[in-house]
C-alpha cells in the first residue's frame, strides 16, 4: 500500500467505526492517526446530524482535536464507566489481543478502555499479524531508575530495549519515559507477558491490551472489513 492508499484506508476505517456509536453514548476517544478520523467524523455527526454524545480523551492531542470539533468532554471526576471506546492499534492478532502505544498514550488508553463496556479498534491490514511483537512493544516507565527497569525488561526481551528518543527522550503526557522492547514476532502468550511486565518495579503500564478489544474495523483499498470477537461483548 502506498502512502495515499494507507491514509485512505485509515480514513475509511475511522469513519466506519462511528457506526458503532449511538445517541446518548459516553465514549472513550483514542489516540493516533486512524482514530483521528473517528473524532473528526463524530464532530461532523454532532454538528450536522444532531448526534448526542460525550467523550473522554486518552491524550492531550485528542483533547485538543475533540475541542476543535466541538465534542462535549466529560471531566474525569464525573466518569464512572463508558459505553464504548474507539481506538487504534499497532498490531492485533487472531485472538483480538493488541499492541498499542506507538503514539505514547498507552497508559491513558488502557485506563479508558478498561472502564468501557466495549472496545472497537480501527486499523489497516498492515497491523493484522499471527503473532504479536514485530512492532516494538512500548512500556511506560517512571523516569527514576529507568535504567534498572530497562535491565529487568531486557531479561524478558530477546531483542534490544531502547528508550524512545534516545538522548532526547520522548516524554509522555504523564511525565514518563517509553521503553520500546524489540521482541520480534515471538509474543505467543501476550496475557502471561503482560502480567510479567506489569510486575516489574518502575513499570507504569505495558502496551499489551489483552481481553479488551471486542471488534476490529479494518480499512483497505478493497473496502471495510469488520471482525467481531465471537466471545466478545459486541457479538
**Greater confidence, 207 or 220?**
207
**Greater confidence, 221 or 228?**
228
Rg (CA), the chain: 17
Tell me the pLDDT band of 98, cut-offs 50, 70 and 90: very high
Percent of the chain with pLDDT over 70: 99
- Rounded distance, CA 235 to CA 230, Å? 6
- For 186-192, the CB contacts below 8 A with 24+ separation are 186/131, 186/133, 186/158, 187/99, 187/131, 187/132, 187/133, 187/137, 188/131, 190/93, 190/97, 190/132, 191/97
Q: What are the sequence ranges of the domains in the chain?
A: 3-127+211-222, 137-202
Residues 84-91 have a mean pLDDT of 97
CATH, domain range 3-127+211-222: 3.40.50.1360
Res 220 pLDDT > 90: no
| CATH superfamily ID and name for 137-202 | ACT domain (3.30.70.260)
| Contact between residue 180 and residue 99 where contact means Cβ atoms under 8 Å apart | no
Residues 20-43 have a mean pLDDT of 96
pLDDT given at position 1:
63
Span 108-162, pLDDT tens digits: 999 999 999 999 999 999 999 999 999 999 999 999 999 999 999 999 999 999 9
- pTM strictly above 0.75: yes
Report CA torsion sign: 98, 99, 104, 108: positive
Sort strands 119-123 and 84-88 into parallel, antiparallel or unpaired: parallel
| Contact between residue 123 and residue 34 where contact means Cβ atoms under 8 Å apart | yes
| Contact between residue 105 and residue 140 where contact means Cβ atoms under 8 Å apart | no
What ranges make up the beta strands (E) of 20-65? 26-29, 54-57
pLDDT given at position 221:
82
For the chain, what's the residue count?
A: 235
Concerning whether 68 is annotated as a catalytic residue, the answer is no
Match 528518543 to its residue by C-alpha cell. 165
Res 49 pLDDT > 90: yes
- Which residue in 109, 140, 194, 205 is the catalytic one? 109
Res 202 pLDDT > 80: yes
Residue 40: enclosing H or E segment and its boundaries?
helix 35-49
| Contact between residue 87 and residue 31 where contact means Cβ atoms under 8 Å apart | yes
Amino acid at each position: 500500500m502506498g502512502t495515499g492508499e494507507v491514509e485512505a484506508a485509515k480514513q475509511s476505517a475511522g469513519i466506519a467505526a462511528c457506526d458503532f456509536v449511538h445517541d446518548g453514548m459516553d465514549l472513550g476517544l483514542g489516540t493516533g492517526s486512524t482514530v483521528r478520523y473517528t473524532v473528526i467524523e463524530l464532530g461532523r455527526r454532532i454538528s450536522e446530524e444532531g448526534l448526542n454524545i460525550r467523550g473522554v480523551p486518552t491524550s492531550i492531542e485528542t483533547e485538543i482535536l475533540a475541542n476543535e470539533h466541538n465534542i462535549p468532554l466529560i471531566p474525569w471526576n464525573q466518569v464512572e464507566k463508558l459505553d464504548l471506546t474507539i481506538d487504534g492499534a499497532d498490531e492485533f492478532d487472531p485472538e483480538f489481543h493488541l499492541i498499542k502505544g506507538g503514539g505514547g498514550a498507552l497508559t491513558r488508553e488502557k485506563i479508558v478502555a478498561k472502564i468501557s463496556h466495549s472496545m472497537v479498534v480501527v486499523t489497516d491490514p498492515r497491523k493484522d499479524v499471527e503473532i504479536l511483537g514485530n512492532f516494538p512493544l512500548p512500556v511506560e516507565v517512571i523516569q527514576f531508575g529507568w535504567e534498572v527497569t530497562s535491565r529487568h525488561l531486557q531479561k524478558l526481551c530477546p531483542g534490544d530495549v531502547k528508550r524512545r528518543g534516545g538522548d532526547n527522550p520522548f516524554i509522555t503526557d504523564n511525565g514518563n519515559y517509553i521503553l520500546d522492547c524489540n521482541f520480534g514476532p515471538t509474543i505467543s502468550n501476550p496475557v502471561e507477558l503482560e502480567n510479567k511486565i506489569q510486575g516489574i518495579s518502575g513499570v507504569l503500564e505495558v502496551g499489551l491490551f489483552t481481553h479488551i478489544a471486542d471488534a476490529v474495523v479494518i480499512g483497505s483499498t478493497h473496502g471495510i472489513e469488520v471482525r467481531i470477537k465471537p466471545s466478545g461483548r459486541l457479538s
